[in-house]
């Protein structure tokens, strides 16, 4: 037998064993035999690399070093789901689904909601070519090298797979594996991980894939996104994914009605404790993909899906003290410091008390026995006080009247629920908070900096405002260091500016100069101007000078910009320090005007177009790209302002009826192509 054939046979055999073990949960070889075969393959590939499979099982031990993760756009948005905690809202969801389907029959699929982090996997000719994190839903990080170390994710698909395909799912760590990880760390005297979900999410962003390979990441995939068959139902797509060798959880059910869904929810609410992994609810989806397309999306969620969240666990603790935190906008938030307790696998020592009104309504006092839960199973919060256990002589809590950082007298603007520190330019947490916001991913995206490094740069006097970042040099940063104490755990770590760290910071700051105007505007931190509002303002006014010159009526007249935002924008630009900051950033070369995308033509010039149905000549995404490239706007719902509809096969009867009622023209994809050809 030739060496090449031997490598091919070992590769195929080990891939099959991995598939049997990680996907089918069926062990077909002893660990010792598997390891011996793996070592044999490693030796052969090392001696004859020209014969090694690009997706060899040996590649799942990692080794690639990633200095910076590339940002990759998603093929379609990775949206969140609307959620509910009660049956009534689930029934309301069913009523909406029935209405949107115009009286047509429909089914649901019910699936477990895994408590992990989302991932998108792209396959070309059956080979895994890219893995992308959720990111902001529009774009995410390319973590392909790390994901290739996860043994349950196949590098090569099985069966009759399409030429190009994308699947999405959730990555996680099993409960027992997490416990073992912490036992091993405790034995070495290392800090323990907080919980499985955060550990899994942190693992996938490690720069060394060989370290990722040492951690027991696993995955379940639950959505087939791109595969060329838009008529395939969601339930059938799950079956198809299993045939391709992808890990799909078996706890799914095809349901004929919402009561059937409810039975599935009740069952898993009781049984979830017996699972080897964490879940926090059940996901319900309309089964027909064509019906999904017709129902469409809101700006945040698909209208055809809902997550039912299980009631969270509560834990009892003692309130030891109340301290206060100051945010970048000056808002002062009270924090409850608690006796440590376990809640959903996490050690909890602190919880939010929201604001002064919340403290007064709950009448929570130092020394009280309190009940804590995780809001959305993420942020701990106090929900109840056991007043029967309150000690005699206990006094009501008085909210602080001065800033805990700079001792300025706090203010509570009329109609506001929070107290604020008015010392905008002299309160350290506000200054550092604004800089941290400025460098954040959705703003200037300087990923080589973080809270700890910003603190060191601030304390050293090098950075007092965002513009100072662009004056940093290797000489004034090299050698800086400071011990940082984690308020949650009490652990101490040293932040030091070594040569490579400084080089990465300077490189990140320089790269940030290429961020588009809408991100720069968001980075400025104007109150109430979030990511979406920043985009609307940027694309409406086109440049910072026009925005600064706009009066209240002009701002208030922009779509979805109300009076509160308009006033906030005006107030921001009236402050001289803010105008000076913008001038300094302009001088550093930041982009303060919209760079218009070059269009193929203006044939559609602002036309609002709906794409509906199934097409043969173009994909839906191709049609939408053509609309934008020729000056049109994609809209999801039909109204009087809709210019026309590109109607494919199986267009929903409800949409068709509405179009006819409003007199909106419907054209075929061929007619649309002719329209563009004649431009």
Known catalytic residue at 113: yes
Contact 526, 572 (CB under 8 A): yes
3-state SS class at 207? coil
Give me the sign of the Cα torsion angle 384, 377, 181, 23.
Answer: positive
Residue pair 149/213 in contact by the 8 Å Cβ criterion: yes
Sign of CA pseudo-dihedral 656, 657, 659, 663: positive
SS3 content of the chain, % helix, strand, coil (to 5): 40, 20, 40
From the number of C-beta atoms within 10 Å of its C-beta (0-12, 13-18, 19+), residue 408 rates as middle
Which letter, b or e, does each residue of 590-615 get, where b requires 16 or more Cβ atoms within 10 Å of its Cβ? bbbebeeeeeeeebbeeebbbbbbbb
DSSP 452: H
Which contacts (CB < 8 Å, 24+ apart) does range 494-499 have? 495/452, 495/453, 495/455, 495/456, 497/453, 497/456, 499/474
Residues near 33 by beta carbon (within 8 Å), at least 6 away in sequence: none
**What residues have CB less than 8 Å from 474, skipping those under 6 apart?**
499, 502, 503, 506
Distance between alpha carbon 40 and the CA centroid of its chain, in Å? Answer: 41
- CA distances 367 to 359, 372, 394, 467, Å, are 14, 15, 8, 45
Residue 298's contacts (CB-CB under 8 Å, 6 or more residues apart) are none
Q: Which of 15, 37, 87, 113 is catalytic?
A: 113
Q: Which residues are catalytic?
A: 113
């Amino acid at each position: 037998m030739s060496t090449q054939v031997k490598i091919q046979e070992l590769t195929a055999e080990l891939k099959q064993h991995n598939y049997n073990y990680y996907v089918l949960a069926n062990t077909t070889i002893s660990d010792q035999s598997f390891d011996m075969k793996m070592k044999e393959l490693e030796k052969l590939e090392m001696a004859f690399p020209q014969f090694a499979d690009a997706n060899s099982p040996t590649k799942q031990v990692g080794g690639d070093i990633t200095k910076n993760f590339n940002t990759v756009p998603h093929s379609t948005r990775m949206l969140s789901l609307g959620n509910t905690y009660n049956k009534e809202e689930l029934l309301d969801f069913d009523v909406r689904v029935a209405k949107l389907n115009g009286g047509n029959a429909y089914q649901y699929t019910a699936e477990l909601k895994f408590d992990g982090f989302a991932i998108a996997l792209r396959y070309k000719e059956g080979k895994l070519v890219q893995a992308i994190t959720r990111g902001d839903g529009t774009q995410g990080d390319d973590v392909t090298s790390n994901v290739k170390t996860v043994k349950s994710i196949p590098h090569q698909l099985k069966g009759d797979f399409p030429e190009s395909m994308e699947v999405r799912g959730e990555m996680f760590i099993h409960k027992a594996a997490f416990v073992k990880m912490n036992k091993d760390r405790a034995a070495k005297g290392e800090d323990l991980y907080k919980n499985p979900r955060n550990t899994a999410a942190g693992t996938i962003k490690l720069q060394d894939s060989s370290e990722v390979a040492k951690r027991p990441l696993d995955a379940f995939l639950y959505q087939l996104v791109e595969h060329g068959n838009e008529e395939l139902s969601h339930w059938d797509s799950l079956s198809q994914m299993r045939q391709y060798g992808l890990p799909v959880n078996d706890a799914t059910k095809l349901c004929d009605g919402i009561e059937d869904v409810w039975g599935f929810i009740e069952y898993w609410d009781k049984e979830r404790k017996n699972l080897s992994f964490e879940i926090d609810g059940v996901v319900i989806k309309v089964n027909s993909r064509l019906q999904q397309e017709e129902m469409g999306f809101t700006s945040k969620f698909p209208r055809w899906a809902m997550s039912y969240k299980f009631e969270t666990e509560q834990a009892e603790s003692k309130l030891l003290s109340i301290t206060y935190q100051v945010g970048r906008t000056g808002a002062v938030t009270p924090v409850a410091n608690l006796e440590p307790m376990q809640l959903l696998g996490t050690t909890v020592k602190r919880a939010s008390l929201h604001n002064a009104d919340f403290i007064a309504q709950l009448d929570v006092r130092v020394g009280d026995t309190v009940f804590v839960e995780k809001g959305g199973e993420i942020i701990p919060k106090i929900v109840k006080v056991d007043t029967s256990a309150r000690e005699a002589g206990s006094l009501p809590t008085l909210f602080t009247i001065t800033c805990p950082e700079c001792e300025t007298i706090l203010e509570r603007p009329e109609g506001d629920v929070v107290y604020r520190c008015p010392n905008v330019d002299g309160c350290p947490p506000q200054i550092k908070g604004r800089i941290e916001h400025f460098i954040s991913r959705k703003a200037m995206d300087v990923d080589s900096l973080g809270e700890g490094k910003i603190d060191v740069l601030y304390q050293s006097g090098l950075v007092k405002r965002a513009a100072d970042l662009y004056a940093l040099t290797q000489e004034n940063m090299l050698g800086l260091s400071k011990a940082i104490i984690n308020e949650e755990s009490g652990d101490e770590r040293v932040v030091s500016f070594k040569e490579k760290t400084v080089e990465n910071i300077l490189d990140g700051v320089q790269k940030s100069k290429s961020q588009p105007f809408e991100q720069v505007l968001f980075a400025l931190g104007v109150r109430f101007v979030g990511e979406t509002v920043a985009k609307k303002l940027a694309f409406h006014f086109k440049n910072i000078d026009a925005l600064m010159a706009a009066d209240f009526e002009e701002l208030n007249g922009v779509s979805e910009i109300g009076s509160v935002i308009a006033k906030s924008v005006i107030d921001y630009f009236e402050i001289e320090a803010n105008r000076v900051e913008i001038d300094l950033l302009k001088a550093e070369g930041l982009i303060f005007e919209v760079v218009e995308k070059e269009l193929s033509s203006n044939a559609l010039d602002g036309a609002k177009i709906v794409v509906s149905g199934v097409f043969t000549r173009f994909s839906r995404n191709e049609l939408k790209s053509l609309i934008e490239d020729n000056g049109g706007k994609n809209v999801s719902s039909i109204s009087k302002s809709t210019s026309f509809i590109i109607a494919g096969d199986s267009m929903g009867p409800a949409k068709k009826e509405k179009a006819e009622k409003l007199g909106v023209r419907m054209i075929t994809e061929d007619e649309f192509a002719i329209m563009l050809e004649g431009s």
